[in-house]
Amino acid sequence: MGTQRSTSLSKKTGNKLHRQSLYVKQKREREKEKRETRFRRKKEEEREPELRRERIARNIPATIDRKRVWDDVDDDGLGASVDMEQLLKKRRLQQEEAKEKLAAEAENGGDHEGDSDEDSMLGSDDEEEDSDEEAAAKARAKQVIRDDSMAPSTTSTNLGLTPESLVAKFPSLFSEDGPAEPQVLITTTLNATIHDEAKLLCTLFPHSTYIPRSAHKYGHKYSVREICKYASNRGFSTVMILREDQKRPIGLDIVHLPLGPTFHFSISNWVEGKKLPGHGNPTNHYPELLLNNFKTPLGVLTARLFQSLWPKTPELQGRQVVTLHNQRDYIFLRRHRYVFRDKRPTEKSVVGADGKELKGVESIRTGLQELGPRATLKLRRIDKGIGRAGSEGDDAVQWEWKAKMEKQRTRFNL
């Protein structure tokens, strides 16, 4: 009687063809079992939708972003990794508790005094007039404020959370008296060859001018401070210096005029728009600006710098949007054009942040076309003045990246 062949690959099989057939058979069985399990689960979830919600809540991937840790300090300095929204909320609660405590103490102290003072009724008409004026001002402000989006973003940056310490330290950057249409002067390092890349930046920033920088033996080698003084006298609000290595852009220095600060970024993954598959051609319209995931004091400061580089009022008819998305301290720069189109039969419905379908947009979809250029930025240093040479004092370098900062992979600076 011959021995029966095993259908398991756990036991060695000398015949190669037999091993291959067994492997194909086992793979088909595993795929069949997975498919049956998937269809069975789908039928059960159709009968009980609560099972699907429980499964989705249970299968949330444990990414590094979800494991992010914050510093447990009450500090809004540039070196602190704190969530400004939570920090300001904590401070607001502490102030309300302190006010309630003072009010309770005042009530306990006022119980022993008489309530028959006639002077207490004086000025009641003035208080009523003040309250009416405040109510009217609030009503006007409510009319000016635009209604919230039907699908609010969970990653957008709220620049209203800027701490007062940052405003006091960088008054020119947070001033509301800045130009509505910023003027940007773009240049390069001495004897640079990346003129095409610098001209691409001119298409990204409206009202920008590119001036080549030469180190010819008969020419004057202007320093960065001399260039900034020249630009400030001619109405420019920002100076950008594009740095190169091996004929590729590797860094971008942004100087906020007239007196700084200076932000130093490194550039990686630079891709021109014409090299992107299915790219479009940009127009001269002012783009919309999206700033995502800038949560710490350093992140809010960086977001404010980027906000000062584009006009405050976008031209919506151009349908262009510039996105600066911060993730794990890397800032991804993208530019797209969007178009509203009809929904295809195979597409799913749009859902909000709560996972429910949005009403009113059942038949509308948005298509995106990348315009370029695309790049990845990383903040390396912030100088108080114009560059390191133009900054003086103990706080000349406001913040600087160091390798030890990434020793803990779940802590981020922006």
Confidence of residue 140 (pLDDT cuts 50, 70, 90): very low
Confidence of residue 57 (pLDDT cuts 50, 70, 90): confident
Confidence of residue 141 (pLDDT cuts 50, 70, 90): very low
Distance between CA 131 and CA 138 in Å, rounded? 11
Question: Taking the CA of residue 177 as centre, how many other CA atoms within 13 Å lie in the half-sphere pointing to its CB?
Answer: 2
First-residue to last-residue Cα distance in the chain: 74
In Å, how far are 14, 29, 194, 371, 400 from 18, measured between CA atoms? 8, 17, 61, 54, 63
Q: Are 154 and 353 in contact (CB under 8 A)?
A: yes
Is cis: bond before 182, omega within 30 of 0?
A: no
DSSP symbol at 58? H
Q: Which helix (H) or strand (E) holds 335?
A: strand 330-342
In Å, how far are 155, 204, 287, 298 from 311, measured between CA atoms? 22, 12, 8, 22
Distance between CA 230 and CA 83 in Å, rounded? 39
pLDDT higher for 372 or 194? 194
Report the Cα 207 to chain-centroid distance in Å. 23
Tokens describing residue 192: 């640079």
Confidence of residue 10 (pLDDT cuts 50, 70, 90): low
Which residue matches tokens 């100076």? 239
pLDDT, average across residues 203-225? 87
Number of H helices, E strands in the chain: 8, 11
User: 246-258: per-residue pLDDT in tens?
Assistant: 999 999 999 999 8
pLDDT over threshold 80, residue 106: yes
- Three-state DSSP at 124 gives helix
Q: Could you tell me whether strands 208-210 and 374-383 are parallel, antiparallel, or unpaired per DSSP bridges?
A: unpaired
Which residue matches tokens 């800045």? 178
pLDDT at 366: 87
Q: Are 243 and 252 in contact (CB under 8 A)?
A: yes
Q: Are 194 and 244 in contact (CB under 8 A)?
A: yes
Lowest mean pLDDT across 88-92, 201-205, 241-245: 88-92
Q: What is the mean pLDDT of the chain?
A: 84
pLDDT at 142: 46
Distance between CA 310 and CA 286 in Å, rounded? 8
Is cis: bond before 277, omega within 30 of 0?
A: no
DSSP 245-288: ETTEEEEEEEEETTT--EEEEEEEEEE-GGGSTT-----SSPPE
User: 319-363: per-residue pLDDT in tens?
Assistant: 999 999 999 999 999 999 999 888 888 888 787 767 678 888 888
pLDDT at 214: 82
Task: Give one word for 207, left, alpha or beta, with left for phi > 0 and alpha for psi -120 to 50.
Answer: left
Most confident of 62-76, 168-182, 196-210, 379-393: 196-210
Tokens describing residue 172: 């020119």
pLDDT over threshold 80, residue 136: no
Lowest mean pLDDT across 127-131, 214-218, 236-240, 256-260: 127-131
pLDDT at 154: 63
Phi and psi angles of residue 321, each rounded to the nearest 5 degrees, phi first: -140, 135
User: 18-32: per-residue pLDDT in tens?
Assistant: 989 999 999 999 999
pLDDT at 143: 39
pLDDT at 131: 61
Distance between CA 277 and CA 288 in Å, rounded? 23
Is cis: bond before 261, omega within 30 of 0?
A: yes
pLDDT over threshold 80, residue 59: yes
Q: Give the relative orientation of helices 49-58 and 16-47 as an angle to the nearest 10 degrees.
A: 120
- Three-state DSSP at 292 gives strand
pLDDT at 403: 86
